[in-house]
Structure formats: structure tokens, C-alpha cells
Amino acid sequence: MKILSILLFICFCSTAIAQEAPSFLVLERKIKNNGTYFHKVELQDLISPDSFEGKYFKVVAGKSNQAISFTHENSKIVTKAATVYHHLTRARNFWVNEMKTHLPQTMNQVIVRIEITNLYDEQGHFAHDNRDPQFNNALSIPSGQTPDWVPEDRSDIWNQEIWFRPMKKVETKNLPGLGPNPLTASLSALEQPFINFTVNRFNSTIMEHIFYPTYSPNPLWVSVVRFAGTIALTKAVIESTKHMDGFFADKYYYLDTAMVPEVTYHEYAHLVLSDHLELTHSTPVIEGLADYFVAALTEKRKIYARVKGYSNAAHKDVEQKRKYDHWYESSRMATSDFVLSVLWDVRETLGAETADQLVYDVRTKLSTSTATINNHLIQAVFDSCTTKCESPRRDKLKLFQMFSAKGF
């Protein structure tokens, strides 16, 4: 009997040890600020005893389909894989438990690729290695398969994936699609109203010289010189600010996307929203919707803040106060925080619970490639309010006032 008890105890201990989830160092944001720290966490839903393969996510390196081993020779790869897996699990839990959406529960296992430099090829999965390698970004990949004419040894089929590029320090001035710096953008927005005002004043002066020459305080040539000088100076000042990017951005830019928690939340949001918004497009509206749910998950005013050693990217502010300008419709502004701030104003107007469900519903009323902010997004918010708002008539009036204050 005593021997049997010992055997049962050993069996119990072995089972407990086998079921204990392995723990790894992962990078986390601090609760009270945007600082970061490393700490150990137990990874949930793993189905492999020795690699980063779980029920919902499998983390691989590059083009491999083999899950990264817990004992990988590069400890930085292990930390990166653990961090991505941990934050993807948190993102999924948010959508399942807080948003109450069924889509994450119907997804196939998501392959998560870190340190992958290949371009995506919708007809071949991975573009050839001789194409320009990619760094400093992340993207979500739609499911697909190679065409029938592709040779059998190169045929492939894949489900939705998330790709995290490796980090590379590049000169900021060489980055495409950054748009103007904040000073240039602000002055450019004021340029046309100021010029219109100056032209009207000049026209009035001309009329005075024609009909009331004795009342004109200065000769006509003085007014002409002042008008021309004002216009020229305005253009020169705005042009000069285009060379002041160094005051608003670091000389170098780098972003290790796998080590920035908000990037992980953003890419998973794209997967959830992809039942209506295709993963092949990047527009201000689509990116802003994903950013909204990043902010809702983290409950922080500033998201994507710098991570020492991994990212010096500028943060996005949910409460940024800039008003609407047609510039924000440009595809070059897909990564700006304007749409995020608009949707966050909806949240502050209607309350978190109502707004979260309303913004999620908005995706069903938008076109993937043609949705604009001023027309489609604003109208979609009003349309969703009809079914999601507690008091649609009252809440639509509040939204109208809020959108007017935002410059629409």
C-alpha cells in the first residue's frame, strides 16, 4: 500500500510538471506610463512541449513552417517569439472576452513569421529572395494558394498570417511617404485662407485708389509692392519649413515591430476586421480603425511610443487636436493618427462600451479601397448609431456637434 501511494504521488507530480505552462521573458508596457520592462509570463494554449506552437498561433522564423524552439541558439529570437506570442494571446482574449466577437474562435491557427524580409506575393506566398528585402514594418497576410500553372514543387497554400520584419537603422530623410513635418502641415493649412484675406485687402486698396484717390494713405506702387512681398514671403516661409524635418524627427529611424506590443495588437485587429476590410489595402480609414482597437485594448492616450533599443517611432495620440483637412485622405497619411483621434472622440461622446461596438459595426458599411474619411467614415458612424446607440436621435445630434468641432 505504501509503495502504491508513492507511485501515485510520483505520477501526480509528473502530471503537474508536464501540465505547467513554460514561462519566458517578454516585453511589456508599464501600466502608468509608456515605459517598458521585461518579466516572465506563462504562455497560454501551447500544444507543443518544446516550441512556440499553440492552439491559435505558431511563431516561426522567416519562410520556415517549423515553430521556433524554446532552446533556439539565439536567445533574442526566443524572447521575440515569446513576446509576440504573449501579446497575440492578449489581443485574441480582448476580442473574444471584451468585444464578444465570434470571428477569432473560427480562425485557423495563425502562422506568425518573425525576421522575415521577403515581400508578399499573392500568387506565390513569398516573393523571390532577390527582391529588395523589407525592414521596420509588419503586415497581415490574407489566405491564398498558388495558381494551378505553378510547378508542383513550388505550389503552396496558406491561411492568414502575420509578418514581422527585422529592425534596420535607416536615415529618416530616405523614408518614403512621411508627408510634411507638423510645422509645414500647419502653415500649409493656413496658407490659402491667409492669401485669400491678403487678396481681398489688396482689391479693396485698388478700389480706393480708383474711386477715392485723395483718401489713399500711400501711393499705388507701395500697395502693389506690399501685396507682392506678402505673397512672396508667405511662400518662402512655408518652403523653408520643408527643410526643418530634423527638428521633428531623429536622424535615424528603426522599428523592431515584434517588440512593440501595439504593433501586434494592430495586426491582429486587421485579421478580425478582414471579414469586411481586405488585408491587401492600407488606407487612412482602415489603419485608423485598427488603431482604435489598439487604444481600446491598452487604454492609453499615447500608443506606439518608443521602446528603447527597439523603436524610436513617434507615438500616436488619441486626443490630438488637429482639424480635418483633405490632406488626411491621402494614402501617404495612412499611418497618421487623425482617424484614430476622430474615432476616439466618438468614444468620449458615446461612452466606451457603446462606441466600441459601434466602431466595430462601422466596418460593415465601408468599402475596402474607396472609403474616405469626410464622406464614407462619418456617414458609416451615423448609420451604425441607428442600431448601436442607446438613443439614436440624441446621440446623432451629439455626434454631429462633435464632428463639426473636428472640422467636418
Report in angstroms the alpha-carbon separations of 401 from 181, 264, 266, 382. Answer: 29, 34, 29, 12
| Residue partners of 166: CB distance under 8 A and separation at least 6 | 114, 115, 116, 117, 135, 256
CA angle, corner 209, sides to 206 and 210, nearest 5?
Answer: 90
Largest Cα–Cα distance of the chain, in whole Å? Answer: 123
**More reliable by pLDDT, 369 or 25:** 25
| pLDDT tens by residue, 104-149 | 999 999 999 999 999 999 888 999 999 999 999 999 999 999 988 8
Cell 476590410 found at = 277
**With 60 as the cut, is the pLDDT of residue 4 above it?**
no
Distance CA 204, CA 324 (A): 31
Distance CA 162, CA 381 (A): 29
308 touches 297 (CB < 8 A): no
**With 80 as the cut, is the pLDDT of residue 167 above it?**
yes
Q: What ranges do the domains of the chain cover?
A: 19-172, 182-247, 278-288+299-405
Phi, psi angle pair for 111, to nearest 5°: -80, 125
Q: Which of 177-181, 218-222, 366-370, 398-402 has the lowest mean pLDDT?
A: 177-181
Distance CA 329, CA 371 (A): 9
Distance CA 78, CA 96 (A): 27
Distance CA 167, CA 299 (A): 27
**With 70 as the cut, is the pLDDT of residue 266 above it?**
yes
| pLDDT tens by residue, 74-114 | 999 999 999 999 999 999 999 999 999 999 999 999 999 99
Cell 522599428 found at = 255
Q: What is the mean pLDDT of residues 295-310?
A: 95
**With 60 as the cut, is the pLDDT of residue 249 above it?**
no
**With 90 as the cut, is the pLDDT of residue 377 above it?**
yes
Report in angstroms the alpha-carbon separations of 270 from 62, 92, 113, 263, 286. Answer: 21, 12, 16, 11, 8
Distance CA 380, CA 403 (A): 13
- pLDDT for 369 equals 84
| Element counts in the chain: helices (H) and strands (E) | 11, 14
Amino acid at 373: I
Question: Taken in order 219, 220, 226, 229, is the CA torsion positive or negative?
Answer: negative
- pLDDT for 215 equals 63
Is the pTM above the cut of 0.85? no
| pLDDT tens by residue, 184-223 | 666 666 677 777 877 777 677 777 767 666 666 777 766 7
Q: What DSSP letter does each residue of 348-366 carry, written as one string? A: HHH-HHHHHHHHHHHGGG-
255 touches 136 (CB < 8 A): yes
Cell 458615446 found at = 350
Q: What are the cell numbers at 7? A: 507511485
